[in-house]
Structure 1
Amino acid sequence: MQIQVNTDKNIVGDEAFMHHIENTLNHTLSRFSDHITRLEVHLSDENSASKSGGMDRRCLLEARVAGRDPASVTDQALTVEQAVHGAAHKMVSLLDSELGKMGHH
């Protein structure tokens, strides 16, 4: 499973941060790794760094599943890590449902 992480201009992510995001997603979605060819991660700060706010860190996950249309989920939270964690668990639920219908998980 290839993971591509994209950030907007308001999210500062060094190599260690990106590695942590990839590890979190690999761990949470590991049982689907035979089905997911690519996972695109889009991280953003909806209010930008100039404004303070609540649940403004957003994670959009788009999974490219072999032989199927892409599946996507989003989550918003106080931190990027929380948004990634929430989106990953939503993706597990979505893939359980979609692949379960096909008898593949």
Structure 2
Amino acid sequence: MQININTDKTIERHQGLDDHVESVVNAAIGRFGEHITRVEVHLSDENSQKSADGGNRCMLEARVTGYQPIAVSDHAATLHMAISGAADKLKRAIDSALGRLHDKQLHRTPTLADETLDEVNE
């Protein structure tokens, strides 16, 4: 699973921030790693001021194999809180999406091709 981190001009990007983002994202969705090809991370400070009014934003977009991209975002007083909040939301969204995809595969109606394949395998 590849993690790409993007920041706006108001966020100073450094190795410590990259490491933090990667560890939080991996902790939240690492168990889905075989289903995810890439996660795009977008960090921004929407009001460009260091205030506690929730101006820090983290948007996460996961590319899940066999499913549409899943995107979530979170606003918080600090960047670290926004990253954690978005990672939790992404974990729930992926769990839900993969559950629906799995249910669809289990409960799909057999087709003529499936029956023909079963006859060949016997």
**Would you call these one fold, judging by a TM-score over 0.5?**
yes
State the AA in 2 paired with 1:15.
Q
Structure 1: which 5+ runs fail to align? Answer: none
State the AA in 2 paired with 1:10.
T
TM-score, with length taken from structure 2: 0.79
The alignment status of 1:28 with 2:32, answered yes or no, reads no
> Is contact 2:3-2:39 (8 Å) kept?
yes
The alignment status of 1:16 with 2:16, answered yes or no, reads yes
Q: Deviations over 1:2-54 (max 9, x none)?
A: 000000000112112111111111111111111110000000000013x6351
d(CA) in 1 for partners of 2:83, 2:33: 17
> Is contact 1:47-1:53 (8 Å) kept?
no
d(CA) in 1 for partners of 2:95, 2:66: 16
Task: Considering fraction of residues, name the structure with more helix.
Answer: 2
The alignment status of 1:56 with 2:55, answered yes or no, reads yes
Query: Percent identity among equivalent residues?
Result: 49
Structure 2: which 5+ runs fail to align? Answer: 104-122
TM-score, with length taken from structure 1: 0.92
State the AA in 2 paired with 1:11.
I
Higher-RCO chain (CA-CA 8 Å, sequence separation at least 6): 1
**Structure 2 residue matching 1:86: 3-state secondary structure:** helix
What residue is the counterpart of 1:87 in the other structure? 86
State the AA in 2 paired with 1:31.
R
C-alpha root-mean-square deviation of aligned residues, in Å?
Answer: 1.4
Q: Deviations over 1:42-93 (max 9, x none)?
A: 00000013x6351000000000011221110000001111101000110111
Task: Considering fraction of residues, name the structure with more strand.
Answer: 1
Greater C-alpha Rg? 2
What residue is the counterpart of 2:76 in the other structure? 77
d(CA) in 2 for partners of 1:4, 1:56: 22
- Count of residues in Structure 1 that have an aligned counterpart in Structure 2: 103
